């Protein structure tokens, strides 16, 4: 066990302090923070566009109540100020106000730019409501009673399929996390493959195997690089957690489901172990760096398929279908499909338990086969060794 931990420590240090690894971690960390900054900026801009700044001529101030009522109905904030025309023109040029209601009859509006849909709807609706109420009053009717009658005639829309806020929050939790798990699997696998082939091509592996067994070397590599990959996953998770606080907008992560997030981390760790064993075992079949592509393509495609199935198929399900059940129990798909089923509240307890059991049994089986492949292929030099030959 001491030899295994020694190899693991060596792999962790060598891989972590590589310039490419440090740059990758820093760039990904900054991209996460930058992405959150962009979301925050969009959110602030959305808030700004929902506030309408209007200047109103003294003779048009009779529209004040109608403007405020209409703004409330539109879900917009209204900043209303009484101005004379010369002051209004100056403030339009400096963009202190969005528009200036110059007169009421006829309704005239001054603006420096084209009115937005919200601004146009606000002003025209308020003017129409004022004219309508004035007409009702002249006919002896009560405008307030008429408004109450019209307000009661609202259209109530009921959809057959609704996604509650809790489901949305859980989906928001799972989607970025399984994305990180997917990329972490690819990065860890690539590092393992490079390490295995590097040692084979430089004949370092022969020196190592003179003191330890192949299985110990394989276990040490997997533990070291998987630990590094999982640390990266935690660092990226920390970036998601710290980003909103750094930006002063902690509400960006409002609704994040922490227990579900921990669930995804467990699935992610198991997925890392399973894929790492496969990457290391298959990488031992080749002896040159240029041959790594032959194993990296299928090993990238399989988790990618699971990831896309979770995002584009499972996320759109409203019930647990036989197809989705089968996908959830395919070991290489389970770490992606199962968290999304949990987010959609579609995973019964038996399926969750079966998913864990299948994944753990698959890891044990792959460890056995991977050790056998690695033991027979790691000292093979020259051309690529066939998988059938390594297993025979």
- pTM listed for this prediction: 0.67
Judge whether 115 lies within some domain: yes
Q: How many CA atoms lie within 13 A of 107 on its CB side?
A: 15
Per the structure, the complete domain to which residue 304 belongs is given by 2-35+165-391
How many C-beta atoms lie closer than 10 Å to residue 354's C-beta? 17
Instruction: Say whether both 76 and 109 belong to one domain.
Output: yes
State pLDDT tens for residues 205-228: 777 777 888 788 888 888 998 899
The percentage of the chain sitting over the pLDDT mark of 70, rounded to a whole number, equals 85
Answer whether residue 36 shows pLDDT above 80: no
Instruction: Say whether both 13 and 73 belong to one domain.
Output: no
Instruction: Say whether both 237 and 289 belong to one domain.
Output: yes
DSSP-based three-state secondary structure for 211: coil
Instruction: Say whether both 132 and 79 belong to one domain.
Output: yes
Instruction: Say whether both 107 and 198 belong to one domain.
Output: no
**Once rounded to an integer, what is the mean pLDDT over residues 294-306?**
89
Instruction: Say whether both 135 and 175 belong to one domain.
Output: no
- How many angstroms separate the CA atoms of 332 and 337, rounded? 10
Answer whether residue 149 shows pLDDT above 80: no
Judge whether 46 lies within some domain: no
**Which of 185, 133, 217, 198 has the alpha carbon at shortest distance from 304?**
185
Instruction: Say whether both 98 and 182 belong to one domain.
Output: no
**Once rounded to an integer, what is the mean pLDDT over residues 77-94?**
86
The percentage of the chain sitting over the pLDDT mark of 90, rounded to a whole number, equals 16
Judge whether 299 lies within some domain: yes
- How many angstroms separate the CA atoms of 292 and 39, rounded? 38
Judge whether 256 lies within some domain: yes
Instruction: Say whether both 119 and 225 belong to one domain.
Output: no
Q: Are strands 99-103 and 108-110 parallel, antiparallel or unpaired?
A: antiparallel
With left for phi above 0 and alpha for psi between -120 and 50, is residue 4 left, alpha or beta? Answer: alpha
Beta strands in 123-228 (DSSP E): none
Q: Are strands 99-103 and 51-56 parallel, antiparallel or unpaired?
A: parallel
Judge whether 82 lies within some domain: yes
Token pair for residue 23?
A: 């740059």
Contact 171, 315 (CB under 8 A): yes
Last residue in a domain, options 105, 124, 139: 139
- How many angstroms separate the CA atoms of 47 and 40, rounded? 11
State pLDDT tens for residues 102-138: 887 777 888 887 777 778 888 888 888 888 777 777 7
**Which of 332, 322, 334 has the alpha carbon at shortest distance from 302?**
332
pLDDT at site 160? 47
Instruction: Say whether both 92 and 19 belong to one domain.
Output: no
Judge whether 322 lies within some domain: yes
Instruction: Say whether both 23 and 55 belong to one domain.
Output: no
pLDDT at site 44? 57
Judge whether 225 lies within some domain: yes
Question: What total number of domains does the chain contain?
Answer: 2
Instruction: Say whether both 17 and 117 belong to one domain.
Output: no
Helix, strand and coil content of the chain, in percent to the nearest 5, comes to 75, 5, 20
Q: For residue 133, what is the domain's CATH number?
A: 3.40.190.10
Answer whether residue 94 shows pLDDT above 70: yes
Instruction: Say whether both 14 and 121 belong to one domain.
Output: no
State pLDDT tens for residues 157-200: 555 444 566 677 788 788 888 998 999 899 888 888 888 888 77
Judge whether 151 lies within some domain: no
DSSP 97: S
Token pair for residue 286?
A: 């080749």
């Amino acid at each position: 066990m001491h030899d295994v931990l020694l190899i693991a420590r060596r792999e962790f240090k060598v891989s972590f302090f590589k310039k490419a690894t440090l740059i990758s971690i820093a760039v990904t960390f900054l991209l996460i923070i930058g992405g959150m900054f962009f979301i925050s900026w969009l959110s602030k801009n959305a808030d700004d566009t929902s506030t309408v700044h209007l200047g109103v001529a003294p003779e048009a101030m009779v529209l004040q109540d109608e403007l405020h009522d209409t703004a409330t109905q539109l879900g917009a904030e209204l900043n209303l100020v009484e101005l004379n025309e010369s002051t209004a023109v100056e403030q339009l040029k400096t963009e202190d106000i969005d528009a200036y209601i110059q007169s009421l009859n006829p309704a005239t509006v001054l603006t420096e730019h084209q009115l937005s849909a919200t601004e146009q709807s606000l002003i025209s609706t308020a003017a129409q409501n004022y004219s309508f109420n004035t007409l009702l009053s002249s006919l002896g009717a009560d405008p307030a009673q008429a408004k109450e009658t019209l307000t009661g005639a609202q259209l109530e829309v009921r959809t057959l399929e609704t996604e509650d806020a809790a489901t949305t929050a859980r989906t928001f939790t799972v989607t970025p996390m399984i994305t990180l798990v997917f990329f972490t699997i690819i990065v860890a696998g690539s590092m393992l493959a490079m390490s295995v082939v590097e040692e084979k091509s430089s004949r370092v592996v022969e020196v190592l195997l003179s003191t330890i067994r192949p299985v110990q070397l394989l276990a040490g590599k997997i533990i070291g690089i998987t630990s590094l990959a999982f640390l990266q996953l935690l660092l990226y998770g920390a970036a998601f957690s710290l980003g909103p606080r750094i930006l002063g907008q902690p509400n960006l992560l409002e609704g994040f489901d922490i227990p579900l997030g921990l669930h995804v981390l467990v699935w992610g760790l198991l997925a890392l172990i399973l894929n790492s064993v496969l990457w290391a075992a298959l990488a031992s079949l080749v002896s040159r760096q240029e041959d790594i592509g032959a194993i990296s393509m299928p090993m990238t495609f399989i988790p990618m398929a699971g990831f896309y199935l979770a995002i584009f198929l499972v996320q759109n399900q409203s019930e647990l279908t036989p197809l989705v059940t089968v996908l959830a129990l395919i070991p290489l798909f389970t770490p992606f499909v199962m968290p999304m089923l949990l987010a959609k509240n579609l995973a019964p307890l038996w399926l969750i338990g079966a998913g864990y059991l299948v994944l753990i049994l698959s890891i044990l089986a792959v460890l056995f086969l991977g050790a056998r492949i690695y033991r027979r292929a790691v000292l093979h030099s020259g051309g690529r060794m066939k998988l059938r030959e390594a297993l025979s």
